[in-house]
Amino acid sequence: MSANIDHLKEEHHQPSGLMRWITTTNHKDIGSLYLWFSLLMFFVGGLMALIIRAELFQPGLQFVVPGFFNQMTTMHALIMIFGAVMPAFVGLANWQLPMMIGAPDMALPRLNNWSFWILPFAFTMLLSTLFFESGGPAAGWTLYPPLSLQGGNSMPFVIFSLHLLGASSILGAINVIATILNMRAPGMTLMKMPIFVWTWLITAFLLIASMPVLAGAITMLLTDRFYGTSFFTAAGGGDPVLFQHIFWFFGHPEVYILILPAFGIVSTIIPAFSRKKLFGYDSMVYATASIALLSFIVWAHHMFTVGMPLAGEIFFMFTTMLIAVPTGVKVFNWVATMWKGSMTFETPMLFALAFIILFTIGGFSGLMLAITPADFQYHDTYFVVAHFHYVLVPGAVFAIIAAVYYWLPKWTGKMYNETLGKVHFWMTTIFVNITFFPMHFVGLAGMPRRIPDYAVQFTDFNMIASVGAFGFGLSQLLFVYILFLTLKQPVTAEDKSWEGAEGLEWTLPSPAPYHSFDTPPKVE
Amino acid sequence: MSGSSYYVPHETKWPFLATVALIIMFIGLANYMNDESNLTLTYTGLALLLLVVYGWFSYVVNESEGGLYDAQVDMSFRWGMAWFIFSEVMFFAAFFGALYYARELSLPWLAGEGSKVSTNQELWPTFENVWPSNGPANVGGEFIVMKAAGIPALNTIILLISGLTVTWAHHGLKEGKRNQLILGLTATVLLGFIFVGFQAYEYSHAYNDLNLKMTSGMYGSTFYMLTGFHGFHVTLGAIMLTVILFRCIRGHFTNENHFGFEAVAWYWHFVDVVWLGLFVFVYWL
């Protein structure tokens, strides 16, 4: 037995090539896998968005048939949510959490490997449905019955791939929680943790609480379609609306899963480039926790027009508006952090600043949508599309890009080209607004979402949006170019790459060693 | 708190193989559901998955018995298992939510309650809301309800006793009473499988004699989804207990260090508590 164990414990000769990545248990390797995978999916999902925008450049049908258009809107959402934004945040968590809390690695390294490797398989299965004779899923990413029950052969594949993605997220979240609760350096109490760690702890809780509910909902879809159950059929005593309730009980926490880590990133970057401590750390933590808890009692604001009792409409309207309070606390704290700071405007800071302004626009349109009687007008229009793209693109995606620029010197030991970074920022920010701002107008004027054709009076704004979308897509090629340019450089970055940066990760050399902290640092 | 001795395993092939097995299983199952193939691929994937699980767990058990896991690793496992069980709770919550929604909202609305009166008048004017229901269209035809008093009550007693025997076994482990440990655990495993057997008998009775099927409207849907999903968990739990029993017989675990045992015991108690919810809301009320 002991010989066997010596064999297990000895420093293994690291396999090379593909096997290294398949078998790795290292949080940095897995973090890189997540981030590269996310970038790939960002472009796959982006390509679908461009197909949508090309079709919508003019009224009438130009490039695709309506059925394929619907597959594009459905797949674009599924890929961007589950393939681009969530894996990017998990990748950042993998890279940063052990370094930030002074741990050697994640708490459960094999599980970590598993949560990543589920993704490429599940997405291959999901994407393969596009090549089926009956096409891919076309009922929208929300998979509402009865429409989703009437799809082609893709349906069980989509559902099983979502099961797998959910399992991956839950395993990843369990790992994050175990790491944060159990692996902190001596002296790092909960209220001394970096704010990014806090936001991820709360995000992980949201994941574990909400992903299984999605699994339950889609399992019922599956049995309704193939085994004759009546969950979502009124004739048997069920209700299609039941699906919407269960789905959004998952779906609303899910949208905070997509934004809370972004809050953590912005709360890290703003103080670093303002050369001040984060204003109101404690209130930031409590605000994040409040947002998370509230997210479980607001779900029906996604379905105000479905025919709920008045009491339900009013309850969900007020709980939803309540979320503006902790969110307001956050925005106030970010602004107060910058107040009288010695600010500089490097690329990560620019993205973080744009985040604050543009995310707040998305937050305000969210407040408009929260007002039940007003929502009756906005529901299922492009106004909703404008709203959630403002919180997700200049929100979540900007924060991810900011984080990559901010931590890239720590990860690689190499500094990106600041001029190109700024060009990337300005192109991205200008085009993101050209793309999504006009959607507010066509939405308020009544253009419905998820249609390949539209009334002629919406043409001008749609043309502008399409031009913006292609510009945005091209700008991201510049991002990839900057990344490759950086990676080709020699190692020059200092341990502490930014003058105002704080945190344990900056005490490590750049690039950070393979095992972050073999001996835990002392936090006083 | 972190120590330099924290065991970080090096490369592993198991997670990747587990994913391959899962994907084979799911592709097979999806094709089967679409009537495009038989279950060969599914069973292949399942068999592969079982091999992987066996291999992965053997590896971990070896590491554990070799003393690679210190108290901090042990704590990571505890957090991991606790949050995994919480995720299972939320999985069941979705199905309990469906049951609650049908009984409290959708069926009363179909019967014309509140503002939904026109649905009832236009579509099903004669429908009245009486639970159990297979809906206004009498989906699946008349059926007889599964009574709480017979097998379900017996199964409740079986599971409750099994909760006691596993705790008794745990005390045996902690106090070094080996016979008590093995006896208690054996009893728990037997009770678990007896429960599953009774459940299977109940299903065949429901299908053959009561015309109570998955297709019996909302009652049949929630009944089979909740009890079926629970039965699946009991089966898993009983298999896990069996593995722990074999490990105990082999002399694994010490009175101080036996997280594997405790994790399965937690899981078993969780399955037990869910059953109480089922017994009350599915069978009784």
Chain B CB contacts of A177 under 8 Å are 79, 83
In angstroms, the separation between the Cα of residue B254 and the nearest Cα of chain A is 17
**CB nearest B66 (choices: A5, A14, A182):** A5
The secondary structure of B82-105 as a DSSP string is HHHHHHHHHHHHHHHHHHHHIIII
Give me the pLDDT at residue B85, please: 98
Which residue in B6, B213, B217 is closest to A104 by CB distance? B6
CB contact (8 A) between residue A230 and residue B134: yes
Is A254 a catalytic site residue? Answer: yes
> Is A169 marked active-site?
yes
Torsion angle of alpha carbons B81, B87, B88, B92, nearest 10°? Answer: 160
Report the pLDDT averaged over residues A100-111: 95
Give pLDDT, residue A6.
Answer: 44
In chain A, residues with a C-beta closer than 8 Å to the C-beta of B101 are 239, 242, 245
d(CA A326, CA A287): 5
Residues B64/B260, Cβ–Cβ less than 8 Å: yes
Q: Known catalytic residue: A76?
A: yes
Quick: pLDDT tens for A342-389: 999 999 999 999 999 999 999 999 999 999 999 999 999 999 999 999
For A160, the closest of B26, B91, B95 (CB atoms) is B26
pTM for this prediction: 0.95
Predicted confidence band of residue A524 (pLDDT cuts 50, 70, 90): confident
Distance CA A155, CA A136 (A): 8
Write down the residue that tokens 């492009």 correspond to: A382
Do A229 and B68 count as a contact with CB atoms less than 8 A apart? no
What residues of B are in contact with residue A175 (Cβ under 8 Å)?
80
Q: Cβ A1–B65 below 8 Å, yes or no? A: yes
B-chain residues within 8 Å CB-CB of A104? 2, 4, 6, 8
Instruction: Find the closest chain A residue to B96 by CA distance.
Output: A216
pLDDT tops 60 at residue A3: no
Whether the pLDDT of residue A219 is over 70: the answer is yes
d(CA A350, CA A297): 34
Select which of A256, A405, A416, A506 is catalytic: A256
Instruction: Please indicate whether residue A327 is annotated as part of the active site.
Output: yes
Q: Is the peptide bond before A194 cis (omega within 30 degrees of 0)?
A: no
Give A520's contacts in chain B (Cβ within 8 Å): 1-4
Q: How far apart are CA A451 and CA A468, in angstroms?
A: 19
Say what the ipTM of the complex is: 0.95
Low-confidence ranges of chain B (pLDDT < 50): 1-3
Do residues A102 and B2 touch, judged by C-beta distance below 8 A?
yes
3-class SS at A29?
helix
Q: For residue A5, is pLDDT > 50?
A: no
Rounded distance between C-alpha atoms, residue A172 and residue B25, angstroms: 22
Q: Could you tell me which of B22, B47, B48, B26 has the C-alpha nearest to residue B37?
A: B26
Which alpha helices (DSSP H) does A102-189 contain, by range? 109-128, 154-182
Distance, CA of A429 to CA of A393 (rounded, Å): 10
A387 is an active site residue: no
The pLDDT value recorded for residue A13 is 57
Tell me how far apart the alpha carbons of residues A354 and A358 are, in angstroms, rounded to a whole number: 6
Nearest C-alpha in A relative to B78: A178
Report how far residue B98's alpha carbon sits from residue A512's, in angstroms, rounded to the nearest whole number: 49
Q: What is the pLDDT of residue B118?
A: 83
- Angle, helix B14-33 to helix B40-65, in steps of 10 degrees: 160
List the alpha helices (DSSP H) in A56-108.
66-78, 86-101
DSSP secondary structure code for residue A448 in this structure: B
pLDDT of residue B120: 87
- How does the average pLDDT of chain A come out, rounded? 95
Contact (CB<8Å) A235/B36:
no
> Would you place residue A151 in the very low, low, confident or very high pLDDT band (cuts 50, 70, 90)?
confident
Query: Are B4 and A23 inside 8 Å of each other by CB?
Result: no
Residue A8, pLDDT score: 46
Residue from A192, A275, A449, A496 carrying the catalytic annotation: A449
Name chain A contacts of B22, Cβ cutoff 8 Å.
118, 121, 164
A225, closest residue in chain B (CA to CA):
B33
- pLDDT, tens digit (0-9, with 9 covering 90-100), for A9-39: 444 557 788 999 999 999 999 999 999 999 9
- From A302, A387, A410, A440, the catalytic residue: A302
Concerning whether A142 is annotated as a catalytic residue, the answer is: no
Element (H, E) at A47: helix A27-55
Q: Pick from A2, A101, A160: which is nearest to B29 by CB?
A: A160
Of A32, A74, A168, A210, the catalytic one is A168
To the query of whether residue A302 is one of the catalytic residues in this protein, the response is yes
Best of A182, A254, A296 to disrupt the B interface (most B CBs within 10 Å) is: A182
Residues in chain B: 285
- The answer to whether residues B104 and B281 touch, using CB atoms and an 8 Å cutoff, is no
Strand partners, A448: A381
Helix ranges, B140-177 (H): 151-174
Mutate to test the interface with A, among B4, B7, B8, B250 (most CBs of A within 10 A): B8
Query: Residue A229 and residue B98: Cβ atoms within 8 Å?
Result: no
Digit-coded pLDDT (tens) for A27-85: 999 999 999 999 999 999 999 999 999 999 999 999 999 999 999 999 999 999 999 99
**Which candidate in A267, A337, A360, A466 is catalytic?**
A267
Q: What is the mean pLDDT of chain B?
A: 94
